Structures are given as structure tokens and as C-alpha cells.
Chains A and B, each alone.
Chain A
Amino acid sequence: MMTNLAAGRAADRIMDMAADTAAEAQEMLAITDLKTHFFTQKGVVPAVDGVSIRIPEKQVMGIVGESGCGKSVTAMSILQLVSRPGRIVGGSIMLDGEELVGKSVKEMRNIRGNKVSVIFQEPMTSLNPVYTVGRQVSEAITVHRQVGKQEARQQVVEMFKAVGIPEAERRFNSFPHQLSGGLRQRVMIAMAMVCQPKLMIADEPTTALDVTIEAQILHLMRRLEEKSNTSIMLITHNMGVVAEICDFVYVMYAGKVMEQAPVFELFDHTKHPYTKGLLNSIPKPTEEKQRLYNIKGMVPNLLRLPKGCRFSPRCEYAMPECREREPELYDCGKNHKVRCFLYQKDQGGGADE
């Protein structure tokens, strides 16, 4: 009986693995065990410490976490833009089957803006104030494609229309300071999308915008993702934004992925105490002016990480085991993985709560 069961489990696992390889075929981005460390005078800061992230084709993938959890450094690692004293010390980043780690500066120049593009939080500082926005977006085309100035202009105007910039023809000749924050962010998105990249990284794209404009931009990103073949990696600290447009979510804390799951699964069956804490800290409309839940303490200093689970000093469920060794990512079924000893027993099975 026991052996039968064990054999059955093994068979299941093989099936799972087969399913995994099938899924890998359409993966746009596969980050495996990425380690990006910063070598400072005070010691080594493991900003990204063994992160594995997979983004299938045509998906919006969210990375959430508080400041200092390593979400932006992960993005910069993909773009190979981590500057000294930081360095990728291990792992692999496959973009559409192509390894990015170890690529030369020249090779990356051909990939950035072409196969992978990025939009940043502050659209004013990422646009050059002395060139017209049209010229800046055209540059992305003329650098990567063999097209003339006129054709580039035409493509840019079309892209401006696609991202909802009114009077696209006229705006082509505008300077960044003549546009509002929302329009500038649309220009950034146009610039990121104009070469039809495989992956667009959006690092807090709406944090600096007002809510009514934020809603417009999120809607636009969702629509572009549906129409093109671009996958989106959305970095945010706002659980509301995640719930609004993401398909799959990774929750990061102090350089590690703590929980990963499809968006509905994550919100409906939140498992990791940190994720629960993040969601509970958001003021809810239902509760009557009672005290807000808060995660005690603060994010640890990455130079002096606690022993065992990184979240254990702040965790209300922490057990002695948590302070001794670090939990792995346990698979709870339904594509839901959690780095917490509480779910160790669920591993491999589809155990539900």
C-alpha cells in the first residue's frame, strides 16, 4: 500500500516535470538562481540572493515587495545595468532562449530597447529635456532597425496614437517639459513598445501619477499586452496595482522570493505570513476605525541578515526551527509556492489550506 502510494507520487512528480518542460518552451524569460551582490566597504550586500522567476509569453507578471527587497535590482540585472560595486555573482537569465548573463556591452546594446525595454517610475528624469519626445522615440527605431527618418517618424506617430497621446502629430515635436506627467509616461511606454520587445520591464510605472491617470496607464498596459506578443514584468509595492493587472505574482522580501502564485490564488489563499501582513496592513473599507494590522519591526539590514528565515524576527508564527535554518520554496500545488516551514507538509500534494 505504502509503496503504491509512493510510486503514485513519483509518477505525479514525473508528470509535473513533463508539464514544466512543456511550459518552458513558451517561456519568454527564465531567471534561475540569480545572485546579484554589492561589494561595499562594510561588507557584501546580497541584494538579490538566489531568485528564480519565470515569465511565460503574453503575461503580466508582478513583483511586489517593500523598499530594499531587491525587486529593482532584479530588473537591473536582466538589463545588465547593475553598476559597481554591484555584480551578478551567479545564476542565469534566459530571455527567449538567449543567455544574458556574461553578454558584452556591445551585445547588450543590441538587446536593450530591442528585445527588452524598460519604463521607470519618474518619466521626467528618464526623458532628455533638450530633445523633442518624437526624436527620442525615433532614436529607438533608427538604432535597432534599418529604417529612414521619415518612416521612423511615421511609426512613432502611430505608436503615439496607440498609447493614446492626443494630437500625436503635433506632440511629436513637443519637449518633455511641455507634457503632463501622464503624457510623459505614455511617451515612455511608446518608447518601450516601439520595437515590439519580447519583454517590457515596468519599474513602479504609476507610483508618481495621480489615481485617475494611474487607472488610464494600467488599462493601457493591459491592452498593449493583449494586442502584442510582449510580456510585462511589473515591479510595484502596491497590492492594488497587482490585483488590477497581473496574471502571476512573486512576493519578495530581503532578496528572496517568499511566495509565488497566480494572482487569484495569491489573494484568495494567501499563505506566507509576510504576504498576509502586507495585505492586512492596507486599510480596508469594511473595518470600522479599529487598529490597523502592522508587521512589527522593519526590513532587516542586508549586511546583518538574521539566521534562518529572513522574515522570522518579524513573524508572529515563527517557530524555533525558523531561527535555525532557511526554509525552501515549498510547492503547495496549483502553481503556488511558499518559502515557509508552515507549508512544508503540503509539499508535492495539492493540499488545500
Chain B
Amino acid sequence: MNNTLNHDGAKVLAAAENVVKEFKLSGNIRRGQMVVHAVTDVSLNIYEGETLAMVGESGCGKSTMGRLILRLLEPTAGTVRFEGRDLAELGEEELRHLRKKMQIIFQDPYASLNPRMTVAQIIAEPLNTHQIYGSQKETEARVKELMKKVGIRPEFTNRYPHQFSGGQRQRIGIARALALNPKLIVCDEPVSALDVSIQAQILNLLHDLQKEMGLTYLFISHDLSVVRYISDRICVMFLGKICEVGPTEEIFRAPKHPYTRFLLEAVPKPNPHLRKEQKAFLTGEMPSPVKPPAGCRFHTRCPLAVQRCSQEVPVLRNIEGRQVACHLVTA
């Protein structure tokens, strides 16, 4: 993971190196301390200007990864770098300064906006926190500019969040994230709470903003059709580990890891002619992240698993322009 440039010569903006995150559960005398292994030994580069999608089922650690990259969570082990600097080594003041460059958009536009603040106050908050402008007038002008940019009428500055629809609220959340001219935005399921017609509007907006401002997105989502539309690269996670990373179209065309294959197969396609009588199903449930299976974490659900899979942890290997962690996939 030492290559700092990708094929197009883009620089690494943020990187995770062997990151581990464990959450301690409340102790129990009989069973002892229980630990949730949310993210286990994950290394990942996010290149400048790209959209990297994190996909996987609930509990796979994709949101935890997003929060680790922003250092909203501290890793149990491993290093997170932003623009080459180890976030753990930065002092409080330096970290605050760097935080301007990274922002987050949340899933639920109802819960992520303070109901007692007006739209102007919400969008101005990051500007005031970092004391960007000297005068109130400048801040107001910037707020109006941001509102226009995300498609909300600037006259609405004094309205409260409850006066807006879900899609408009998500636009307010985006305006707030854009206020400080960030480089990286972590989008944590930004459209899953929205209706399809509104979802398309927000995806278009995110796409336009990226072009205009040169943003980098870490796009966390479980909706694979959305991911295919918006992302350049995909990182598929299962139970805290990366299964496969690679260019979006290639992974959709020919998924290599068995889990990726089942995940893509499971998505209901909006075409009744593609209805299959005997779909290949993933049987069983997600194993517990408290006691993850030994060896490959997917082996308990994998129909192709052989003995080796339950004994040896597969490493992420470079295969034909992507990285795959599976004993059975060879170049």
C-alpha cells in the first residue's frame, strides 16, 4: 500500500493502514469481557477526486470505516493518514485545522439537523466555529451562496428544518458540509431515506458538486444500483474485513470474490424478465462480530468453501487490477 499514485496519477488523499477497531461490550463475570470486532486489519487508499464506495450488509463495518477516516473514532490499532499526515500524531489545534478539509453527510435528514436552529444558523455553524469570516455580513453572504449552490431558495434562510421536505433537508445537510470548502466528504447512506425521484435529484447534485469543486467522496451505501451510478471504485466489506476492491464497472461485470457475486446477484432488478426461478441464494445469517469465524470470515456462508478457508485467513492480493481476499481466486 505504499503507492501514493493511482493509474491516473491522482494522489492519495486519505489512507487507512492496517486499521483495527474494537468496541468493548459491558463485561460479564461468567463470559468475561466481550469485544465487537467492527473493523479488522483494513488497509485502504482514497485518491484525490475519486468516489470510493463502501458497500456491504449491516454490521460489516462500513460506517465505522467512514468514522475512522474522519477520526470521529480512534482506531484500536493501525494508522489513518490524511494528506500523508498521521492523524494520531497531530495536536488538538492541528487536528481542528485539518478537520475543515473533511466533512460528513448523514443518512437521516430528520435527525441530523437541529430542529431549533434556522437554516442559516445550521449552515453558518461550521463557518462560525472556525471563525472563517470577520463579519456577520460576509457569513450571511456565504450562507446564501451555499443555499443557491445546493438548490434551496436563499429567501428561506429563516425557516426551520421541519418546514422542508426530506430531499430539501438533505440539501441543507450538503450545504453545511460544503461550507468550509472541504476536500473529502464522507457520505453515509445519503439517499437511503429518500424516495427514488428525490434520490435521483440528490445524486445528480452530488455529482455536479464533485465536478465543480473537485471533491473526493467516500460513499457508504448498501444500495448497489446507486453505488454503480456514483462511484469510480468499490470496496466490498464483510464482517469487518475487505473482500474485494476495484474499479466499479469491472467488479459489476465480473465479480471475483464469492461474496461480491452473491451480493450483486441478490439485488432485485427492475425488470421482470430477469426474474430467475432458482436464484443462487446466500443461506444463513451474518455471523456475530463478537465471535467472528476463524479463517475466512465468509466461509460459514460460502458455498464454495474448502477446508483451508476455515483455517487460514485470506490476505488481500492484487489480481488483475483489483484486490481480492479469497483463497480460491487466482490470477
Interface residues of A (CB under 8 A from B): 66-67, 180-183, 210-216, 218-219, 237-245, 263-264, 267, 277-279, 281-285, 289, 291-295, 298-299
Contacts and interface: CB of A to CB of B under 8 A. Distances in A.
B203 interface: yes
Given A66-B197, A292-B200, A294-B200, A238 B226 contact: no
Contact of A240 (B228, B265, B268, B281): B268
Interface in B215-264: 222, 224-226, 228-230, 252, 262-263
Nearest to B203: A292
A289 B229 contact: yes
Contacts of A282: 196, 225, 270
Interface of B: 57-58, 165, 167, 195-201, 203-204, 207, 222, 224-226, 228-230, 252, 262-263, 265-275, 279, 281-283, 285-286
Contact of A281 (B57, B197, B263, B274): B197
A219 B281 CA distance: 9
A244 B269 CA distance: 7
Given A211-B222, A219-B279, A298-B167, A278 B196 contact: yes
Interface centre among B165, B195, B228, B263 (most CB of A within 10 A): B195
A281 B272 CA distance: 17
A182 B267 contact: no
Given A211-B266, A298-B165, A216 B197 contact: no
Contact of B267 (A181, A240, A242, A295): A240
A216 B281 contact: yes
A294 B204 contact: yes
B200 A243 contact: no
A210 B279 contact: no
A16 to B, nearest CB: 25
B263 A211 contact: yes
Given A67-B195, A210-B58, A292-B229, A215 B266 contact: yes
Nearest to A288: B249
A279 B271 CA distance: 10
B192 to A, nearest CB: 10
Contacts of A295: 197, 200
Contacts of B285: 180, 182-183, 213
Nearest to B284: A166
Give the dominant DSSP class at A's interface: helix
A294 to B, nearest CB: 4
Contacts of A293: 200
B270 A264 contact: no
A107 to B, nearest CB: 37
Nearest to A281: B200
Contact of B199 (A243, A281, A285, A298): A281
A279 B270 contact: yes
24 contacts: A66-B196, A210-B222, A211-B57, A211-B224, A212-B262, A212-B263, A214-B268, A215-B268, A237-B196, A238-B268, A239-B196, A243-B275, A244-B275, A267-B272, A278-B196, A281-B199, A283-B200, A283-B228, A291-B207, A293-B200, A294-B200, A295-B200, A298-B198, A299-B195
A243 B270 contact: yes
Contacts of A213: 57, 285
B266 A214 contact: yes
B267 A211 contact: yes
A238 B263 CA distance: 17
B222 A243 contact: no
A294 B286 CA distance: 35
A18 B175 CA distance: 60
A240 B270 contact: yes
Q: 9 closest Cβ contacts across the A-B interface?
A: A240-B268, A283-B229, A294-B200, A210-B57, A66-B195, A295-B197, A215-B266, A281-B200, A239-B270
Contacts of B270: 239-240, 242-243, 267, 279, 282
Nearest to A241: B268
B289 to A, nearest CB: 12
A154 B49 CA distance: 60
A263 B201 CA distance: 27
Contacts of A292: 200, 203-204, 229
Contacts of A219: 279, 281
Given A67-B195, A243-B274, A283 B203 contact: yes
B162 to A, nearest CB: 14
Contacts of B266: 211-212, 214-215
Contacts of B268: 214-215, 218, 238, 240-241, 243-244
B225 A283 contact: yes
A277 B252 contact: no
Contacts of B222: 210-211
A14 to B, nearest CB: 32
B229 A267 contact: no
A85 B129 CA distance: 45
A294 B197 contact: yes
Contacts of A183: 285
A292 to B, nearest CB: 4
Contacts of B273: 264, 267
